[in-house]
Structure 1
Amino acid sequence: MAKNFHTDNKAFMLYKDWEDIFQALDSSEEIGELVMALFAYAKRGETPKLSGGAKIAFLMMRAAIERDGIAWEEMCAQRSECGKKGGRPKKSDESGNTDEKAEQTAASADNAEEKPQGINDTAEKPKAFSQTKRFSEKAQKADKDIDKDKDKDKAIDKDREKDAGTAESVVRSFGTHKNIMLTSEQYNELESRCRSVGLSLESYISKLSQWLFTKGRHCTDPYRIISGWLDNDSKRKTAAKPKERQGCDLSWYDDFAMNFDLSKFF
């Protein structure tokens, strides 16, 4: 019967590089929710409802747990298949089989006296050759299984990148109260946009962080909110830019009036 790592495997791996992800979460409650979500998925295959940084972190960790679980299932299947093909021989019964074995041993001893030594040597060679051939076939099959495992690992890594979306390996918290969760890619993009129009990204982050803290709320997509603010302020700033005025210097008119000769009109 095929093994299922959700129900049959008694353990799952926690990787050291996950420490940075746990530290990036802004509260112990989110850390606790993330840990319980990992146990629920590894033990029962459940996908709990999370939000914010905890959801992004769970998607990345879930892919690693699934990859390890599939590798464990395939290892169990290989062991089961090897057990069906070979294994330790059954013990002979005390009644009947013992006498038959003794008779066969005695008969083989009589035949050994009559037959030349060379015949016995050639009789043993096909058996050894067959065992060596079977061992070689198992080794080749094991190599093919390893290649299949590598291909599946690559496919799982691609799914992991797809689930993570635009998130990079580490999610960071920003703001006065550390309640604004942005990836490095999102932060760099917003900062570049603010710099191009002469605005400050930190002011937007501080504004949103203080508002969420005052209202006691949690923002699931701070990137979308800050991006919307930035678009609106950029349009206002462009529309309010004063137009260049043309020169209004009339000093030349004073010089003309004082030096104008009126005698030629009389």
Structure 2
Amino acid sequence: MAKNFHTDNKAFMIYKDWEDIFQALDSSEEIGELVMALFAYAKRGETPKLSGGAKIAFLMMRAAIERDGIAWEEMCAQRSECGKKGGRPKKSDESGNTDEKAEHTDTSTDNAEEKPQGINDTAEKPKAFTQTKRFSEKAKKADKDIDIDKDKDTDIDIDKDKDKDIDKDREKDAGAEKSVVRSFGTHKNVMLTSGQYNELESRCRSVGLSLESYISKLSQWLFSKGKHCTDPYRIISGWFDDDSKRKAAAKPKNKQGCDLSWYDDFAMNVDLSKFL
């Protein structure tokens, strides 16, 4: 039976990066609602109704919990398949040693009375019996070697699958890091993802503008009005576009310089003896 991380897994991961998200929330009530929402989703798969910053934070954290849960289910499935493949019933001895031993024992018992006196019962066994026993031991050893090779191949396949899962997890972590929401501004009320902040900073730097001034301006305005901005990236991007257009229009046009090449020829050919 397949495992379900909501009901079968007893734990879920909490990442250190989430500390910034919790600190960015307005009140302890929102933090409590967010924590209970995480437990409800990880344990029962429930998606509670949240609003504001708690809702945005829950969506990002839920994606990380779901990613870890799916990886846990795949790991359980792989272990189950390996358990089914491991071990097999021992093969019966195809050389027939048991029957041969029994026949040898019965023959020795029936002819015990016919043996003349002076014959040693511990005489050397027939060569055919010895060769058959050696062949049986070689066959058993070959079967054990085959089982060991199969186990090694299974372990190699499992390691390859684990490496692929690790690569996928790293790609997902890189994408999740760009989508982590952080708080900026004087009053920590401007919420931007790492990707949005890096993009705006690059654009401002290219034209000599300061991103921090825009963030401080928006943060102070929101605090003075007692409002919450749902899309600060769009507002700052609009301000940047307007200021960059004004800055481009205010640049003075290059004035055409005077051609003074004639003065070089005059200075080189002038007769200075007139002025002595």
State the TM bucket, normalised to the shorter chain. Answer: 0.5 to 0.7
Determine helix, strand or coil for the equivalent of 1:172: strand
Q: Closer, same or farther in 2 for the Cα pair 1:140/1:220, shift >3 Å?
A: farther
The whole-number CA distance in structure 2 between the counterparts of 1:118 and 1:57 is 98
Q: Closer, same or farther in 2 for the Cα pair 1:233/1:188, shift >3 Å?
A: same
- Which has the higher Rg, Structure 1 or Structure 2? 2
> Which region of structure 1 is more displaced relative to structure 2, 193-202 or 71-80?
71-80
The whole-number CA distance in structure 1 between the counterparts of 2:76 and 2:142 is 13
Normalised by the size of structure 1, how large is the TM-score? 0.53
> Which region of structure 1 is more displaced relative to structure 2, 202-211 or 160-169?
160-169
Alpha-carbon contact 2:214-2:236 (below 8 Å) kept? yes
Alpha-carbon contact 1:63-1:156 (below 8 Å) kept? no
With a CA cutoff of 8 Å and minimum separation of 6, indicate the structure with the bigger relative contact order: 1
Determine helix, strand or coil for the equivalent of 2:113: helix
> Which region of structure 1 is more displaced relative to structure 2, 232-241 or 190-199?
190-199
Structure 2 regions of 5+ residues with no counterpart? 153-160
Alpha-carbon contact 2:60-2:180 (below 8 Å) kept? no
The whole-number CA distance in structure 2 between the counterparts of 1:147 and 1:174 is 58
What is the CA deviation profile of residues 96-140 of structure 1, one whole-angstrom value per residue up to 9, with x for unaligned ones?
999999999999999999999999999999999999999999999
Q: Closer, same or farther in 2 for the Cα pair 1:123/1:172, shift >3 Å?
A: farther
The whole-number CA distance in structure 2 between the counterparts of 1:130 and 1:225 is 93
Q: Closer, same or farther in 2 for the Cα pair 1:127/1:18, shift >3 Å?
A: farther
1:224 aligns with 2:226: no
Determine helix, strand or coil for the equivalent of 2:253: coil
Shift of 1:257: 25
- The residue that corresponds to 1:146 in the other structure is 148
- The residue that corresponds to 1:21 in the other structure is 21
Alpha-carbon contact 2:185-2:216 (below 8 Å) kept? yes
Shift of 1:215: 3.2
Structure 1 regions of 5+ residues with no counterpart? none
Alpha-carbon contact 1:59-1:160 (below 8 Å) kept? no
Alpha-carbon contact 2:2-2:77 (below 8 Å) kept? yes
Normalised by the size of structure 2, how large is the TM-score? 0.51
The whole-number CA distance in structure 1 between the counterparts of 2:128 and 2:12 is 42
Alpha-carbon contact 2:95-2:132 (below 8 Å) kept? no
Q: Closer, same or farther in 2 for the Cα pair 1:255/1:5, shift >3 Å?
A: closer
Shift of 1:235: 0.9
Alpha-carbon contact 2:179-2:195 (below 8 Å) kept? no
Over the aligned positions, Cα root-mean-square deviation in angstroms equals 11.5
The whole-number CA distance in structure 1 between the counterparts of 2:86 and 2:25 is 52
Determine helix, strand or coil for the equivalent of 2:176: coil
Determine helix, strand or coil for the equivalent of 2:95: coil
Shift of 1:180: 0.9
Alpha-carbon contact 1:26-1:173 (below 8 Å) kept? no
Shift of 1:179: 0.7
**Percent identical residues:** 92
What is the CA deviation profile of residues 150-193 of structure 1, one whole-angstrom value per residue up to 9, with x for unaligned ones?
94785697489669858537543111210112234433332332
Alpha-carbon contact 1:173-1:182 (below 8 Å) kept? yes
What is the CA deviation profile of residues 63-93 of structure 1, one whole-angstrom value per residue up to 9, with x for unaligned ones?
4423443455456667878999999999999
Shift of 1:227: 1.1
What is the CA deviation profile of residues 211-254 of structure 1, one whole-angstrom value per residue up to 9, with x for unaligned ones?
22233332233222211210111112212334456799999999
Q: Closer, same or farther in 2 for the Cα pair 1:83/1:253, shift >3 Å?
A: closer
Shift of 1:46: 3.1
The whole-number CA distance in structure 2 between the counterparts of 1:172 and 1:180 is 8
Determine helix, strand or coil for the equivalent of 2:100: helix
Shift of 1:55: 5.4
Alpha-carbon contact 2:190-2:232 (below 8 Å) kept? yes
- The residue that corresponds to 1:196 in the other structure is 206
Alpha-carbon contact 1:5-1:70 (below 8 Å) kept? yes
Alpha-carbon contact 2:97-2:132 (below 8 Å) kept? no
What is the CA deviation profile of residues 6-42 of structure 1, one whole-angstrom value per residue up to 9, with x for unaligned ones?
2344443334454344335454344334323312321
Q: Closer, same or farther in 2 for the Cα pair 1:191/1:70, shift >3 Å?
A: closer
Determine helix, strand or coil for the equivalent of 1:73: helix
> Which region of structure 1 is more displaced relative to structure 2, 16-25 or 115-124?
115-124
Q: Closer, same or farther in 2 for the Cα pair 1:245/1:72, shift >3 Å?
A: closer
Q: Closer, same or farther in 2 for the Cα pair 1:238/1:89, shift >3 Å?
A: closer
> Which region of structure 1 is more displaced relative to structure 2, 179-188 or 63-72?
63-72
